[in-house]
Structure 1
Amino acid sequence: MTPPPLPFFVYGTLRPGEPNHDLFLRGRTHSEERARLHGAALYDGPGYPYAVDAPGAVTVGELVTARPEVHPQLLRELDRLEEYAPGDPHNLYERVEREVTRDTDGTAVRAWVYLAAPAVTARLRAHGKLIEGGDWTVRR
């Protein structure tokens, strides 16, 4: 079964100005706009962040809509980048469908989001470094 061609909510190295944006997204998107994922906290990782379900928290990022003709290939490439394979217990991330909110007009949009996988989530909650304010680009 082919996943629906939803936009992506990106919050780390795929954001504009970050290293993986140019490698994976430049020239392949229809639009990129600021957005927020409510109900997710952001933790610092080894050079990239993890979003973790957390009621009341907010993660800042971009809603990226891929050009239709590249969406299936981009989805496969991002799954590999995020070390996600459906059902694999060794995943770093799980690709899930979530509602995100556009900053421009407050509308809600369904999008793909890579959240920390269960084992990673447990480690982060126990020993992780929370990124206050939920914006990875201003963590420094």
Structure 2
Amino acid sequence: MIAPELPFFVYGTLRPGEANHDLLLRGRTLREEPARLTGALLYDGPGYPYAVEAPGAAGAAVSGELVTARPEEYARLLADLDRLEEYRPGDPRNLYERVAREVVRVDGSAPARAWVYVAAPAVAAALRARGKPIEGGDWLTRR
């Protein structure tokens, strides 16, 4: 099955100023806009964060950027991001799952459907049980 060409919502090491932004996104995007993923909590991982879906949790939101790839870069960027996140469709060993979710632009313009890498079910369960949430849902303020 071919994935639709959605923008990406990034919330951790792919954000501007973070380690993987220059490595994977620089020069490959048309736009990067501040956005929020509602219905999710952010947890601290070993050097990178996990968004854990939490529908109905009051105030649950993750801050990040909505990234629109250059059309000629899209297929290769999707493959590179899947590789970075070690995401393989249907693999029960995944740490992340790539899911399509609605994100809200901070400027108030129309919401957008985007690819988001969220914690895979087993990882999400472990984080809910004994993980460390990042207060305010913003990886850039964790320090």
Shorter chain as denominator, the TM-score bin is: over 0.9
User: 2:26: which partner in 1?
Assistant: 26
Q: SS of the counterpart of 1:43?
A: strand
Q: SS of the counterpart of 2:39?
A: strand
Q: 1:42-63 CA distances to partner (integer Å, 9 max, x unpaired)?
A: 0000000000011330000000
User: 1:90: which partner in 2?
Assistant: 93
Q: Gaps spanning 5+ residues in structure 1: where?
A: none
- The total of aligned residue pairs comes to 140
Q: 1:39-88 CA distances to partner (integer Å, 9 max, x unpaired)?
A: 00000000000000113300000000000011011001100100100000
1:67-86 mapped onto 2 (5 Å cutoff): 67-86=70-89
Given the alignment, which residue of 126, 129, 133 partners 2:132?
129
Structure 1 segments, 4+ long, off by >2 Å, are: none
Q: Gaps spanning 5+ residues in structure 2: where?
A: none
Q: d(CA) in 1 for partners of 2:94 and 2:124?
A: 11
Q: d(CA) in 2 for partners of 1:66 and 1:32?
A: 9
Aligned residue identity for 1:126: A
RMSD value, Cα: 0.7
User: 2:4: which partner in 1?
Assistant: 4
Q: 1:8-39 CA distances to partner (integer Å, 9 max, x unpaired)?
A: 00000000000000000000000001000000
Pairwise CA distance, 1:107: 1.8
Q: d(CA) in 2 for partners of 1:107 and 1:130?
A: 28
User: 2:119: which partner in 1?
Assistant: 116
Pairwise CA distance, 1:106: 4.0
Q: SS of the counterpart of 2:54?
A: strand
